[in-house]
């Protein structure tokens, strides 16, 4: 393997190697930006610079690790979400662009459902990296935001992100809504991106996901609907009226999740929303 080469040579090698192994060819560019501490335009301005040998070696190893399945975000330690940089590691799900759309819809619905400005209590269940809770607080500072996760290692990542991004969020360790039911605490808004992948889908999924991202954040029983059913038993005990509930789900699960939600809240206005790719991806209940 080449020990030292110019930036453009490193990028060309990575691009070919990644494509050959059916990985995203842009991964090399992201990794090299990270190791050189530059943005994309700065990287392109340095195409003819010689790479230091140590960076060349680390870069080659990282590209090879990605080909074997390690997500780029776990190597760089970060992912962009809603215009902000979040720290991520193998204890948390990597934030996805689809979840940015959950935020967009939630912000619009909050304005519509709560036209009179007053303090509103929002909870994010299964917060992971804290992306939903932190973004909602920063986009709508008057919200009083609480976030939970069942796993303490995930909460530690979320807390660090909250501190780094100066977002005031209350962090609670617990299983779904149990900590709040125990205290008699209620909320105006509940958002969640729960696990929703049927366990059988694991066989056909990329190892980049199945071998590295936490399974507790991915899989949800035979049909992927296990957590939504559990939510419906607990939600009526914590939701205020008027209130807003918003879930992300897997493509094709929209009608099933909407039906479960409508059954739990017969009077609610339940709507399925589509993502930028035209796939059903979010469901909301306006109480």
For residues 193 and 264, membership in a common domain is answered with yes
pLDDT at 217: 47
In the predicted model, what is the mean pLDDT of residues 219-241? Answer: 81
> Is the same domain home to 103 and 32?
no
Is 39 in the same domain as 170? no
E strands, 118-258, in order? 120-125, 143-149, 169-173, 187-192, 239-248
Annotated binding residue 278 = no
In a domain, 184, yes or no: yes
CB-CB contact of 148 with 182 (8 Å) = no
Q: Do 95 and 185 fall within a single domain?
A: yes
Q: How many domains does the structure of the chain reveal? A: 2
In a domain, 77, yes or no: no
245 CB burial (10 A radius; 0-12, 13-18, 19+):
buried
Distances (CA, A) of 71 to 63, 75, 84, 198, 250: 10, 7, 19, 22, 21
Nearest to residue 96, comparing CAs of 142, 128, 65, 63?
128
Taking a C-beta distance cutoff of 8 angstroms, is the pair 123, 146 a contact? yes
Taking CA atoms, 197 is separated from 80, 99, 179, 218, in Å, by 23, 15, 25, 6
For residue 126, say whether it is annotated as part of any ligand binding site.
yes
Q: Which domain holds residue 32?
A: 7-68
Predicted confidence at residue 198, as pLDDT, reads 54
Let me know whether 108 and 162 are in one domain: yes
Say whether 130 counts as a known binding-site residue.
yes
Confirm whether residue 252 is marked as ligand binding.
no
pLDDT in tens, 73-87: 989 999 999 999 999
Q: Can you give the CATH number for the domain in which 101 is found? A: 3.40.50.150
Q: What is the pLDDT of residues 143-186, one digit of tens each?
A: 999 999 989 999 999 999 999 999 999 999 999 999 999 999 99
Pair 187, 172: CB distance under 8 Å = no
Q: Is 52 contained in some domain?
A: yes
How far apart are alpha carbons 157 and 66 in whole angstroms? 22
Share of the chain above pLDDT 70, in %: 88
pLDDT computed for residue 34 by the predictor: 95
Report d(CA 278, CA 20) in Å as an integer. Answer: 30
Percent of the chain with pLDDT over 90: 72
Entry pTM: 0.89
CB contact at 8 A, 191 and 147: no
Assess whether 272 and 171 both reside in one domain: yes
**Backbone dihedral angles phi then psi of residue 24, each to the nearest 5 degrees:** -65, 120
228 and 265 within one domain: yes
Q: Is 129 annotated as a binding residue?
A: yes
Is 250 annotated as a binding-site member? Answer: no
CB 198 within 8 A of CB 220: yes
- Give me the mean pLDDT over the 273-283 stretch: 91
**Is 100 part of any domain?**
yes
275 marked as part of a ligand binding site: no
Return the higher-pLDDT residue of 43 and 3: 43
pLDDT at 207: 59
Between the ranges 3-7, 161-165, 174-178, 211-215, where is the mean pLDDT highest? 161-165
3-state DSSP call for residue 171?
strand
What pLDDT is attached to residue 69? 87
Tens digit of pLDDT for each residue in 131-151?
A: 999 999 999 999 999 999 989
Structure confidence by residue, pLDDT tens digits, 84-136:
999 999 889 889 899 999 999 999 999 999 988 889 999 999 999 999 999 99
Residue 83 lies in a domain: no
């Amino acid at each position: 393997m080449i020990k030292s080469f110019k930036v453009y040579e490193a990028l060309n090698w990575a691009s070919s190697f990644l494509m050959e192994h059916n990985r995203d060819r842009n991964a090399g560019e992201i990794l090299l930006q990270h190791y050189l501490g530059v943005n994309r335009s700065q990287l392109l301005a340095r195409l003819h610079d010689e790479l230091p040998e140590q960076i060349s070696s680390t870069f080659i190893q990282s590209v090879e690790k990605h080909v074997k399945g390690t997500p780029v975000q776990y190597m760089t330690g970060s992912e962009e979400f809603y215009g902000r940089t979040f720290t991520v590691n193998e204890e948390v799900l990597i934030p996805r662009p689809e979840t940015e759309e959950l935020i967009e819809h939630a912000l619009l619905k909050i304005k519509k459902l709560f036209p009179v400005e007053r303090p509103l209590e929002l909870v994010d269940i299964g917060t992971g990296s804290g992306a939903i809770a932190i973004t909602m607080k920063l986009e709508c500072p008057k919200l009083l935001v609480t976030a939970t996760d069942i796993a303490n290692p995930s909460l530690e990542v979320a807390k660090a992100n909250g501190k780094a991004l100066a977002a005031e969020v209350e962090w609670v360790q617990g299983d779904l809504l149990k900590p709040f039911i125990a205290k008699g605490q209620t909320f105006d808004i509940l958002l969640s991106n729960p696990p929703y992948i049927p366990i059988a889908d694991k066989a056909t999924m990329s190892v980049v996901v199945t071998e590295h991202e936490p399974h507790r954040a991915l899989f949800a029983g035979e049909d992927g609907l296990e957590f939504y059913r559990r939510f419906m038993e607990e939600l009526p005990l914590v939701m205020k009226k008027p209130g807003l509930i918003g879930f992300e789900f897997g493509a094709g699960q929209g009608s099933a999740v909407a039906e479960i939600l409508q059954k739990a809240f017969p009077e609610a206005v339940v709507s399925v929303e589509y993502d930028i790719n035209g796939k059903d991806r979010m469901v909301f209940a306006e109480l």
